[in-house]
Amino acid sequence: MNFIIIILVLMFVVCGEILLDIYGEYKKIGGAPFNFAYHINAFGKPVVFISRIGKDPDARVILDFLALRNFNSENIQIDDKKATGNVIVSLKDGIPDYTITRDVAYDYIEYDKINIGPEVSLLYIGTLAQRSSISRNSIHELAEQHKSAKCFYDVNLRKDNFDMRIVKDSLLLADIVKINDEELRVLAESFNINGDESSSMSGLSDKFAIESVCVTKGAEGSVLLCNGIFYEKSSPDSPDVIDTVGAGDAYSSVLALGIINGWGPALTADRASEFAMDICGINGAVPDDLFFYDKYKGWFL
């Protein structure tokens, strides 16, 4: 008798911005979707990252960085006319503030140039890249073509760079939503959801048929609502916080992995909080050294 062994590969697809975060005299690669994809890749999981950069020195910095870390850039499109995106990051007491350049390459992601296979387990989307109708249409076309995949929406509202109509359309696509406490208040007010934090989370879940809603609260920890049950997680103690840039993206990456891999809400929240806090102990959103991830390999055995 012949047996056929089927190996299920969990494929993550991430579509959105890649850019350079500028901290005074130095630059680091960033963008919430890229940070998310970078972590997934570093954990050893298959990920396709879709974005667009210019044909300029900043683009060369990005491509060289990715090549050195064996990060697949096949779906990073090159724009002959628009510059690579950048963000001026200023820190006050470790808390980042962002000034985001508009009308850049990642605003023009073309759906017809995307090359991915049919088997997608999770599609990650954000808000910033959707400020342009071209990238927004590409993201929604991806969602339409991969309806069987879980849609993870990392809200990330950036000042002067979002529209509540876009947020609403994204929430309607989403199975999983990650949001911070300030953003939760904005959405609750915008969508006429009344009550305290728990009521706002439940209201958001009910209004948009969202399976899991996670609210991150910085030093106060996080709350995960999953199938009507709340799981609260206090923030791990750490004396080594350097900055909080990218902490939410780190949390999102482990949250998504935990949900897709069936860890259970409590363990997922524990691990997501631990990884996010460790990211707060480095400069910038992603570590330069891939040995940073060795600590977490046991999570995926």
Higher pLDDT, residue 221 or 127: 127
b/e for 147-172, b at 16 or more Cβ within 10 A? eebbbbbbbbbeeeebeeebbebbbe
pLDDT tens digit string along 262-290?
999 999 999 999 999 999 888 878 998 89
Inter-residue contact 197 to 224 (CB < 8 Å): no
Instruction: Give 179-238 as a DSSP string.
Output: EEHHHHHHHHHHTT--SSHHHHHHHHHHHHT-SEEEEE-GGG-EEEEETTEEEEEPPPP-
287: amino acid identity, one letter: P
Inter-residue contact 232 to 223 (CB < 8 Å): yes
Q: Tell me the C-alpha to C-alpha distance, in Å, between residue 170 and each of 118, 126, 176.
A: 21, 8, 11
pLDDT tens digit string along 17-50?
999 988 888 888 999 999 999 999 999 999 999 9
Starting at the edge strand that comes first in sequence, how are the strands of the sheet with 150-154 ordered?
A: 76-78, 47-53, 12-15, 122-125, 150-154, 176-180, 212-216, 222-226, 229-233
8: confidence class by pLDDT, cuts 50, 70, 90:
very low
Of 51, 178, 176, 42, nearest to 122 by C-alpha is: 176
- % of the chain residues with pLDDT over 70: 95
Say if residue 157's pLDDT is above 90. Answer: yes
pTM: 0.93
Q: Give the pLDDT score at 245.
A: 82
Say if residue 95's pLDDT is above 80. Answer: no
Inter-residue contact 23 to 16 (CB < 8 Å): no
CATH of 12-300, one of 3.50.50.60, 3.40.605.10, 3.40.1190.20, 3.40.50.300: 3.40.1190.20
Q: Give the pLDDT score at 1.
A: 46
pLDDT tens digit string along 189-227?
999 999 999 999 999 999 999 999 999 998 888 999 998
CB atoms within 10 A of CB 201: 24
Q: Give the pLDDT score at 124.
A: 98
List Cβ<8 Å contacts ≥24 apart for 196-202: 197/223, 198/223, 198/225, 198/230, 201/225, 201/230, 202/228
Q: Where do the structural domains in the chain lie, given as residue ranges? A: 12-300
Say if residue 137's pLDDT is above 50. Answer: yes
Whole-angstrom distance, CA of residue 258 vs CA of residue 256: 5
249: amino acid identity, one letter: D
Only one residue has tokens 């920890």, namely: 221
